[in-house]
Amino acid sequence: MSMTPQLVLPDMEEEEASSGPAEPSPPAGLRDSSFERNKQSSVHRWVPWIAGFSAGFVADVFQQYLPDPGRRDVTILEPFSGVGTTLVEGMLHGYNVVGFEINPYAALASRVKCAAFRLEPEDLRHHLIVFEHRARQRTAEIDAVFAAGGDVVACAPPPRAAPPPAFRSRVPFFSPAVERKVLHCLDIIHELPSAEMRELLLLAFGAVMVSFSNYSYEPSLGSRVAAGKPEVPNADVVGVLAAKMRAMLDDLVSYRAQMARFCPPPTARVIPASSLALSDHLAPDSADLVVTSPPYLNNYHYIRNTRPHLFWLNFVAASGELKKIETANFGKYWQTVRDAPRSHLRFALPELEERIQAIGEMHPEKGIYGGGGWANYAVEYFNDCHRIGVGLQYALKPGGVAVFVLGNSITQGIELVTDRYFGQIGELCGLHLEDIHLLREKRVGNSVVNSSVRNGQPTKATLYETAVVLRKPK
């Protein structure tokens, strides 16, 4: 007896899994920085993200490091905006915000979230109703044909959109029935006459697209099968996307009410570029406070982990365009520097130099997979830290503060205390290292310490996160 194919409900939790249980231990006055808390926060919850920090943490930083919380002539700088937590929270406090974000998908999230309070909720409500009605009409036949075991690609009407031709994945990213529905939904979104509304709905699509794909975050993007999960042969794409839009609509109402307190409203500027060249976009002495979290020294590949979003939302059309973003990104990826000539630090920090040399001498028999490649990776990371330090010295007002959330690293079994080194690098750039707050510690098992990323001798070191506080002298 043949089995009737069933519509599978996708996992609705799309945010990348954590690397293990954590024990938050924030200092007095600073809440736990984990992004996990943003899942329940209005607007902040719109887009899942593996990195960053909670809106509550950002609010605590404002309270501690802005001398007069009632001032409106304040500029908050976010060199690594991600999906906009610092920017949105800054605006909700009435501050002007400037953010840098090199990942086009994340930059879209930051830009849309900062501007969304200007949209009329009734307009979004209307577009939501129209979208769901049209999408149901265009995709109704797909479910019937799928249930009958027919060819869903032959279903009428055919979508005008097509899958991005240069996008490749080891297994089909979307199953045929899901892909057909996705294309119809994108058609309807692109038919919207309002650019602002199109961007909002495209962001909604990007926020949920992995949930009905054959991939998941574990925490890096990989196939569901490899993670022991079933593929998704069919899904209620329209329902999932409409549910996300309804949540955004609910948040939009309260967002507008909160922003109505400020007349005129604060300004927001999202710069789709690397923050390694702050001076190309900002005036000197222009930022009162920096709150950010740069990529950690853990080789997590933020660009490649958003490849589906970048291709399906038409931010890139070829792999070469991804390469350009990777090359300009803060902290070069191990894959791009492992077979390059030996790199060298552009500043003097003897302890760090010794640690990197020790990493470079490990496992020479492994060639590019040995310590030499990882030493290059560490050197490029800290060189970029120095470039950021120079930029902070340029952009901060005298007396201004920069708060960087950082984690240490275990590379080839050798611990690199990234937070302390970053503070020392800041001092080399003319800043004062005011404090390092321990935010949380993580339990670390063999899956982390002896993984392919950090493969080396067993170590008793644990991973942790801190807030490094740098101040520009007056």
- Which tokens hold the place of 217? 């975050």
List the chain domain ranges.
22-116+268-299+330-471, 118-256
Q: What pLDDT is stored for residue 458 in this prediction?
A: 57
Q: What pLDDT is stored for residue 283 in this prediction?
A: 97
Looking at the DSSP assignment, which residues form a beta bridge with residue 344? none
Peptide bond into 266 cis (omega under 30): no
- Which tokens hold the place of 88? 């949105």
Q: Which residues contact 243 (CB under 8 A, 6 or more apart)?
A: none
Distance, first Cα to last Cα, the chain: 80
Q: What pLDDT is stored for residue 455 in this prediction?
A: 52
Q: What pLDDT is stored for residue 32 in this prediction?
A: 64
Q: What pLDDT is stored for residue 227 in this prediction?
A: 94
Q: Which amino acid is at 469?
A: V
What fold, for 22-116+268-299+330-471?
Rossmann fold (3.40.50)
Give every residue of the chain whose pLDDT is below 70, as ranges: 1-29, 31-38, 69, 442-460
Cβ proximity of 218 and 451 under 8 Å = no
Cβ proximity of 183 and 200 under 8 Å = no
Per-residue model confidence as pLDDT tens digits over 325-334: 988 889 888 8
How many secondary structure helices (H) and strands (E) does the chain include? 14, 12
Q: What is the pTM assigned to this prediction? A: 0.90
Cβ proximity of 266 and 97 under 8 Å = yes
CA-wise closest residue to 209 among 312, 81, 107, 85: 312
CA 238, CA 260: separation in Å to the nearest integer?
33
Per-residue model confidence as pLDDT tens digits over 56-79: 999 999 999 997 767 889 999 999
Q: What pLDDT is stored for residue 457 in this prediction?
A: 56
